[in-house]
Structure 1
Amino acid sequence: MRQQKIRGHRRRHKHIEEWRLKNLDLRLDLIQKYNGDHIDIVVHPWCDISIIDSAIPEPKGKTKYLMLSGLIDIYDSWKKQLDKIGQSYYLKIWLYEPRFSKSQVVCAVGDKISYYENIFFKSDNIARLEPNNFGPIKSRIENLNWDWRVDEDHFDNNEVGEPGLYSTLADFEESKKWFTRTLRKPHRTTKIDETTELYSFKRGCIWLGGQK
């Protein structure tokens, strides 16, 4: 699949700044209602779903650094606000590589803390984030602790569903073929219960960043 050409970088950078400023304030109403909040990188075209036969390339260069710097600013701002609440909390930057545009800041309180602390698979391999790879924001990367986790796509054995869910039988058969081909790729399997298995396919890594 060919990649789209990203144009108008000056305009994109302006949108990144607007996104950063808009999300510096923690949404305490969501924290109280759902015990958590998160912010994605909501900057076009990276937050869009491609509707043409091409892929949106991941941000790079100055655009990537501005986005990551924005995530760190949001993290710092949220931390100051969470410290005032006076209760335990989870707060991390989730830095995806190579799927950088999925990166986000995530916070949680109460029973959601344990959920987020254990949401990603932890491999026995040991990896270290290299600050030198982040050019002008190297020092900001060095000011945080970064733990390594595995970025995966997950499917279960009920992924295809029943024929009645499809417009035609041919669509159902095509979906079954796709799932059979997918399961031939390397993955790990987790048994959820007596009837459900989860299949996890590695896509990259996730760096979990938080204050030292």
Structure 2
Amino acid sequence: MTDRTDFRKRKIRGWKRRVKEIERWKAYYMKMDMEQLEESSRDYVKLWSLSFYSLFTQYSLPFWYKQRIIQALIDVYDSWKKTIERLDEPYYLKIWIFEENIMKSQVVVSYREMLHFYDNTFAEIEKIESVNEKVTIKNFSELIWHKGLDLAAWSENELLEDMNDGIYSFEEVQEIKESAYSTSKVSGELFYVMKNGVVWLGER
């Protein structure tokens, strides 16, 4: 029989390792990749690019751990801001925090011909005075925050393929279509746009 004390120690050591992974992730991305930015006029860094992203699919992440993630994002943002301001050009630089899936969160930057690339990424953007307690940390109020809707799109063909493959029933496909936030046509193909959750956009 496994000793409960040993089990708790293993759990603590496991979380300590995950905290170190956040610190390593932050240290790696603190310096903006100017070569990438120069080549593409935009860049981003995602939390889910590293191994601890798998935690999200296995556990409900504790609040203190989410706070460390958000602080790491802010630290990377602040470092990138110092760098891009030295270029003395207009730029887009924000932290995106996804409320329901924090591991999708990222720091995003663009400028020059890609300056407005992210302008329509989210819907119903509005400035807010306070944020959901799920994502707040001590120095959260130092930044300017906007709230928006994260959207996801399914094409008519994708939905039909999923129904034929047994992923969705006919009734479920109809429900998706009827509950769509909006629809649009791209190159003659119909897309159903769905609300995928709340996103918080932060900047100084």
TM-score by length of 2: 0.80
Gaps of 5+ in 2: 1-9
| Change beyond 3 A, Cα 1:85–1:194 | closer
Aligned to 2:118: 116
Shift of 1:128: 4.9
CA-based RMSD of the aligned residues comes to 2.9
Aligned to 1:207: 200
CA contact (8 A) 1:131 1:141 kept: no
TM-score by length of 1: 0.77
Shift of 1:114: 1.3
The within-5 A match list for 1:1-212 is 7=11, 8-41=14-47, 42-46=49-53, 48=54, 55-122=57-124, 128-130=129-131, 137-138=137-138, 140-160=139-159, 173-175=164-166, 177-178=168-169, 181-185=172-176, 186-193=179-186, 195-211=188-204
Partner Cα separation in structure 2 for residue 206 and residue 133 of structure 1: 12
Partner Cα separation in structure 2 for residue 126 and residue 35 of structure 1: 26
Helix, strand or coil for the counterpart of 2:58?
coil
Partner Cα separation in structure 2 for residue 122 and residue 131 of structure 1: 17
Shift of 1:194: 6.5
Aligned to 2:6: none
Count residues with an aligned counterpart: 190
| Change beyond 3 A, Cα 1:151–1:182 | farther
> Larger helix proportion, structure 1 or 2?
2
Letter paired with 2:52: P
Partner Cα separation in structure 1 for residue 37 and residue 86 of structure 2: 13
Gaps of 5+ in 1: 1-5, 163-170
Aligned to 2:3: none
